[in-house]
C-alpha cells in the first residue's frame, strides 16, 4: 500500500464507518473532501460554494427539496454526490455546510 493510499484510508475510514448521526464537522469534511470536487469551481454548472446568487433560488426550494435532490441526484449531480456509501444524514450535513457557506438558510 502506498503512503497516499494509507493516507486516504485514514481520512476516509472515520467518515464512512461512523454509525452515528452526522455532525457539522462531518458535513465540513464530506463537503470539502467530496462535494468540493464540483462545488468549489462550479463544475458541470454546480452552484459554486460561497456564491449566494447561485444558491439563493436553490435554497428557496426549501431544505427538504435540497436534501432530496442531493440524495437522489439532479441532472449533472450524481446521487449523494457520488458518495454511495454515505448515509442520508451525512449527505444532509454536507448540504448544510455548503448552504451555510453560501448565504445560509432563510431565518
Which residue number places its CB atom closest to ligand HEC? Answer: 81
- Grid cell, residue 44, equals 458541470
Does 22 participate in binding ligand HEC (rule CB under 6 A)? no
- Contacts of ligand HEC in 65-94 (CB under 6 A): 65-66, 69-70, 74-78, 80-83, 91, 94
The 3-state DSSP class for residue 74 equals strand
Q: How far is the CB of 53 from ligand HEC (least distance, A)?
A: 14
Burial state string for 63-86 with b = 16 or more CB within 10 A and e = fewer than 16: eeebbebbbeeeeebeebbebeeb
Instruction: Name which position in 7, 9, 41, 44 contacts ligand HEC (CB under 6 A).
Output: 44
Q: Which residue has the cell 468540493?
A: 36
- Grid cell, residue 85, equals 456509501
Phi, psi of 101 (to 5 degrees): -85, 0
* Site residue total, ligand HEC (CB under 6 A): 30
Q: Which residues bind ligand HEC (CB under 6 A)?
A: 30, 34-35, 37-39, 43-47, 58, 61, 65-66, 69-70, 74-78, 80-83, 91, 94-95, 98
Amino acid at each position: 500500500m502506498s503512503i497516499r493510499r494509507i493516507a486516504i484510508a485514514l481520512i476516509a475510514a472515520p467518515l464512512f464507518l461512523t454509525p452515528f448521526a452526522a455532525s457539522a464537522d462531518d458535513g465540513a469534511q464530506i463537503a470539502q473532501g467530496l462535494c468540493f470536487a464540483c462545488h468549489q469551481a462550479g463544475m458541470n454548472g454546480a452552484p459554486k460554494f460561497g456564491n449566494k446568487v447561485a444558491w439563493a433560488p436553490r435554497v428557496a426550494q426549501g431544505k427538504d427539496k435540497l436534501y432530496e435532490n442531493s440524495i437522489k441526484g439532479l441532472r449533472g449531480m450524481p446521487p449523494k454526490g457520488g458518495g454511495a456509501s454515505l448515509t442520508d444524514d451525512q449527505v444532509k450535513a454536507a448540504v448544510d455546510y455548503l448552504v451555510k457557506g453560501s448565504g445560509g438558510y432563510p431565518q
